[in-house]
Structure formats: structure tokens, C-alpha cells
């Protein structure tokens, strides 16, 4: 059985991520991460906690004494993938490595604690997102008792503020920094408030310190993370620091550090925040602004707290205050009760806004959510599939048309590493978060390179490099038509 080979058949978007680093230690841990960026960030914290307790890290599951799957519960197919992986690891344990300990971390652990432990006896360890400090003790417990160890306690305080993450999945150029945990928005479809608990913000200074440390280590881009970063609030010496203020302060750490964030809720994307984008050259011209649907009645059923018109007004405001800002979004097709006409409103919203990119999903009922309790999941699967396909086809066309407009422009690209296609080419992102591929020449990861765009697909830009630059310098010329 080849544990890694099997992993590669998973498709790109949902493919798990592994530690970049290998480290020696008495017992070796292999961590596979599913789901959102927040989960990647959490795995870095898990790796740090285990390293501090003498565990080593490996990228090879065959070498591992402990296998941890950091899981996602957001859609049913995310969970199915993890179950499939668990089956493989359990077979490996049974046939070849009886001493192997298998753990489920994160959102599925929180959601399925009983099922995983009792009914299916699948795993040795079940640990929720707020209990990672307890992992070394739980591993000990599983070891000594031979029984499954579990901690799925959610917390109102835990932010892991003092833990310096072991950078994960890392190219040494871009890093995630978690600034808050949990979510208090009760969107009807979403399991996150149940799996990640109440919203809480990490102390300002610990965020600034971590970002400054990253700059010292040579990182050139941070993405500050939270389920809803706009509601970041931390009281410091009697004054409240809100998200725009925090972002501003992060951007002052270095003029050569790009700053991004994810994810924001349209209901509290303020003018103040937009002005930070406008004023600070290193706060990227890009916002991921999940709309979810284009119809006001559906948005109300989803409990999103804004209407189609309010969302469109926000887009208009963003584009007025920050000219050239790039927007992306999330869309759900086939939510409870969605009529054909309501679906067409999503299509018309996409036409109207013309996002650069969208993540598009079919509605998947999650037990315990408001929608699961109050509505019927009544759009037939075939209809959901067809609607999603229409959404994808439309958005792909729009992304391609937007990208075609980039041809001839010059962008400053932060080089992240070799392109997937060829070692002779590098890839990196524009300020507006578009992936660009170009010839390697003598450029290196971490360089800012001016690239003239010559070609594109709906997902990638291709270009010719014109030379190195600095972020401060490029702030005045970008994006120029040459
Ligand atoms: N079904 C389908 N998509 C969902 N999302 C969240 N919950 C569900 C669900 N139950 C999508 C939303 C969210 C993104 C992270 O995942 O679009 O913004
Ligand atoms: Fe998945 Fe949501 Fe948990 Fe992230 S927070 S891992 S998207 S369920």
C-alpha cells in the first residue's frame, strides 16, 4: 500500500496539505490538513506544540508513529474524503504498524466526537480546535491506556497567542497569521459556529510581534486570518482596536511586506477599512467578499443580514474608494427552497459585479445548523448540479474576460516559487491576487518582479519579466499600461 500515492488522486482544490518541515524527535508525527486556511494555520500551531514536547515531524506517513488528520466539516464531501483517508490509515495500522496512533483534529472532531469514538471506534485521538494545548497529554493517555483520548472542549478565550507556529506548507515567502477564532454570525447553512465556537480576538501586540518576526525571517507577505476578520476587536489600555486599525498597524511593520486578509463578511466591511486599502500601498488591492447568493429572499433565508442591493452598493463603494480593487466571492447553489428565478438572480449578480474569481459550491445540509432544523433541503441533486454548472461556466467566462484585460499591463509579482508546470518557470501573485507564471531567469522566491502580462487563462496570467523592483517603488506605477 502506498499511502502517498493514494493521496495524489485527490483533486487540487480539496487536496490536503503537509508540513514543509521535517524534524527529528523521539516519535514522528505526520499531519494532513483539510479545509480552510485557518486549518493550515492551526496545523502550524499543532506542530509547534508537539515539537516543544519532543515529537518529530515527517512528510512520509510510512515513517509516522502518529498520524493526525486536521479536518473540515463544512460540506459532506469534505467529511467523506477524511473518512476515506481514515480507512486507509486504519488498514495500514492493522496490517503493518500496530503501534500507530491515529488522531482526528479540528472541525470533524468537534462535530462527530461520539460517532468517531463510540460507534465506529475509528481513532485513538479526537481533539477539537480549542484543545490543541492538550495534545501531548492526550497522546500520552492514548499510549498508556490503549484507549481513545478525547478533548473537544470549546473555549471563550483560547487564541494560541503565545505559540510561535512551525511554518507549514511554507515557501518561506508567504505566511498565515491567525488573529481571531470562532464565529458569532449564525448563517443558516454553516457549521462553523458549532465546530469552532464563539468569536474571540487575539491580543494586538502578539499579532504585531508575530508579523515582525516573519519579516525578520524574510517573509514578504502575511495573510491575517479569521472566520470573520471584520469583527476583530481587542481592548488595549482602555481603547478598542478594530480590524482597520489592526490592519493599518500590521502594514506599518515594513513597507516591503504585503498584507492580505481572509475572510470578511459584507455586513461589516466599513469605509474605514476601504480607506486603509487606499492609503497603505502594501495592503493588497484585493478583498474576498463572500456574497453566497444573488437573491434577497434567499439571503434572508440564509440569515446573511444584507440584501442584494446592499451588497451591490458595497461593491460600488469599494470600487469608488479603492480604484482597481479586485474582488472574489463565495457562492452557494441550490440552497433550501431556491427557485429557478432566484437562481437566475445569482447569475445576474455575477454578471453585474464581474468578480475576478469565485469559489462555487453546491448546498450541503449540515446537521444542527439553522437550515437543517428549519428548512427542507428540497432542491433535487440533479437541479443543484445543473445550477452550479451554470454558475461555474458563467464565472469562468467572466474571469477569463477580466484576465484578458490584463494583457499588456505590467504588474508587480511577488515570487512564491517554481511553477507547477515547469522548473524553468516561476509563479507568484499580483497585488490583486492573480497568479502569474513567467520565466525563471535569475529571480528567486521573495523577489518583487515587474512582469508584463502577455497571455492568460481564466485562472492564470502569463508574462515576461522586466526586472526586480521594490514594493514601495511599485506603489506609484501599478498597474501601468506599457
Ligand atoms: N454547503 C455548501 N457550501 C457551504 N459553505 C459553507 N457552508 C456550506 C454548506 N453547508 C461555503 C460558503 C462559505 C464557504 C467557506 O463554504 O460559501 O463562504
Ligand atoms: Fe472547514 Fe469551516 Fe472548519 Fe475551516 S472552519 S475547517 S472551512 S468547517
pLDDT tens by residue, 30-89: 999 999 999 999 999 999 999 999 999 999 999 999 999 999 999 999 999 999 999 999
User: Would you say the CB of residue 243 lies under 6 angstroms from ligand 1?
Assistant: no
According to the model, what pLDDT value does residue 476 have? 60
Mutate which of 32, 73, 128, 227 for ligand 2 pocket (most atoms within 8 A of beta carbon): 73
Q: Which residue has the higher pLDDT, 204 or 3?
A: 204
Sorting pLDDT into bands at 50, 70 and 90, what band is 119? low
Expressed in angstroms and rounded, the spacing between residue 388 Cα and the centre of ligand 1 is 13
Centre of ligand 2 to C-alpha 9, Å, is: 22
3-state secondary structure of 266: helix
| pLDDT the model gives residue 21 | 64
Sequence-distant (≥ 6) Cβ neighbours of residue 164 within 8 angstroms: 48, 210, 213
User: What is the rounded radius of gyration, in angstroms, for the C-alpha atoms of the chain?
Assistant: 22
Rounded-to-integer distance, Cα 38 and Cα 177, Å:
9
From the number of C-beta atoms within 10 Å of its C-beta (0-12, 13-18, 19+), residue 1 rates as exposed
Rounded mean pLDDT, 136-151: 93
Phi–psi pair at 220, nearest 5 degrees: -120, -5
- Across residues 263-283, what is the average pLDDT? 95
Is 319 a residue whose pLDDT tops 90? Answer: yes
Atom of ligand 2 nearest to the CA of 191: 8
Whether residue 75 has its Cβ less than 6 Å from ligand 1: yes
pLDDT in tens, 408-426: 999 999 999 999 888 899 9
> Which ligand is closest in space to the CA of residue 190?
1
Instruction: Write the pLDDT tens digit of every residue in 84-118.
Output: 999 999 999 999 999 999 999 999 999 998 888 87
| CA nearest to 257, candidates 287, 226, 213 | 213
Evaluate whether 65 touches 49 at the Cβ level (below 8 Å): no
What is the number of other CB atoms lying within 10 angstroms of the CB of residue 319?
A: 14
Which protein residue has the closest C-alpha to ligand 1 atom 13?
Answer: 330
Ligand 2 pocket by C-beta < 6 Å: which residues?
35-36, 38-39, 72-74, 106-107, 191-192, 195-196
Residue 129: which of 151, 102, 112 has the closest Cα?
A: 151
What pLDDT was estimated at residue 477? 58
CA dihedral 396, 397, 401, 407 (to 10 degrees): 50
**Does pLDDT of 329 surpass 80?**
yes
Amino acid at each position: 500500500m502506498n499511502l502517498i500515492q493514494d493521496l495524489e488522486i485527490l483533486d487540487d482544490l480539496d487536496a490536503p496539505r503537509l508540513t514543509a518541515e521535517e524534524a527529528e524527535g523521539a516519535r514522528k508525527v505526520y499531519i494532513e490538513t483539510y479545509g480552510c486556511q485557518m486549518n493550515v494555520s492551526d496545523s502550524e500551531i499543532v506542530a509547534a506544540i508537539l515539537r516543544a514536547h519532543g515529537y518529530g515531524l515527517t512528510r512520509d506517513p510510512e515513517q509516522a508513529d502518529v498520524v493526525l488528520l486536521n479536518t473540515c466539516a463544512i460540506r459532506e464531501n469534505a467529511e467523506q474524503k477524511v473518512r476515506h483517508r481514515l480507512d486507509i490509515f486504519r488498514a495500514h495500522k492493522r496490517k503493518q504498524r500496530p503501534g500507530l496512533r491515529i488522531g482526528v483534529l479540528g472541525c470533524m472532531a468537534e462535530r462527530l466526537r461520539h460517532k468517531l469514538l463510540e460507534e465506529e471506534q475509528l481513532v485513538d485521538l479526537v481533539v477539537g480546535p480549542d484543545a490543541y494545548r492538550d495534545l501531548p497529554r492526550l497522546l500520552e493517555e492514548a499510549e498508556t491506556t490503549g484507549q481513545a483520548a478525547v478533548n473537544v472542549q470549546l473555549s471563550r478565550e483560547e487564541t494560541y497567542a503565545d505559540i510561535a507556529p512551525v511554518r507549514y506548507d511554507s515557501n518561506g515567502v508567504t505566511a498565515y497569521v491567525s488573529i481571531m477564532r470562532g464565529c458569532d454570525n449564525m448563517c443558516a447553512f454553516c457549521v462553523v459556529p458549532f465546530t469552532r465556537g464563539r468569536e474571540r480576538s487575539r491580543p494586538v501586540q502578539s499579532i504585531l510581534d508575530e508579523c515582525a518576526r516573519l519579516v525578520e525571517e524574510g517573509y514578504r507577505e502575511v495573510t491575517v486570518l479569521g472566520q470573520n476578520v471584520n469583527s476583530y476587536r481587542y481592548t488595549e489600555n482602555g481603547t478598542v482596536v478594530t480590524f482597520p486599525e489592526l490592519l493599518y498597524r500590521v502594514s506599518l511593520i515594513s513597507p516591503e511586506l504585503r498584507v492580505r486578509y481572509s475572510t470578511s463578511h459584507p455586513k461589516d466591511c466599513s469605509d474605514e477599512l476601504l480607506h486603509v486599502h487606499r492609503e497603505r500601498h502594501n495592503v493588497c488591492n484585493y478583498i474576498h467578499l463572500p456574497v453566497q447568493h444573488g437573491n434577497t429572499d434567499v439571503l434572508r433565508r440564509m440569515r446573511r443580514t444584507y440584501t442584494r442591493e446592499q451588497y451591490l452598493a458595497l461593491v460600488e463603494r469599494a470600487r469608488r474608494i479603492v480604484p482597481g480593487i479586485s474582488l472574489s466571492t463565495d457562492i452557494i447553489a441550490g440552497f433550501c427552497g431556491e427557485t429557478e428565478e432566484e437562481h437566475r438572480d445569482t447569475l445576474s449578480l455575477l454578471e453585474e459585479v464581474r468578480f475576478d474569481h469565485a469559489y462555487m459550491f453546491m448546498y450541503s445540509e449540515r446537521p444542527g445548523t439553522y437550515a437543517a432544523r428549519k428548512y427542507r433541503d428540497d432542491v433535487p441533486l440533479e437541479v443543484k448540479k445543473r445550477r452550479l454548472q451554470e454558475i461555474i461556466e458563467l464565472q469562468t467566462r467572466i474571469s477569463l474576460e477580466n484576465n484578458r484585460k490584463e494583457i499588456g499591463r505590467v504588474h508587480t509579482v511577488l515570487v512564491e516559487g517554481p511553477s507547477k508546470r515547469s522548473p524553468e518557470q516561476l509563479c507568484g501573485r499580483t497585488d490583486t491576487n492573480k497568479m502569474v507564471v513567467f520565466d525563471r531567469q535569475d529571480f528567486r522566491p521573495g523577489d518583487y518582479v515587474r512582469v508584463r502580462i502577455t497571455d492568460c487563462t481564466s485562472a492564470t496570467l502569463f508574462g515576461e519579466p522586466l526586472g526586480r523592483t521594490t514594493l514601495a517603488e511599485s506603489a506609484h506605477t501599478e498597474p501601468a499600461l506599457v
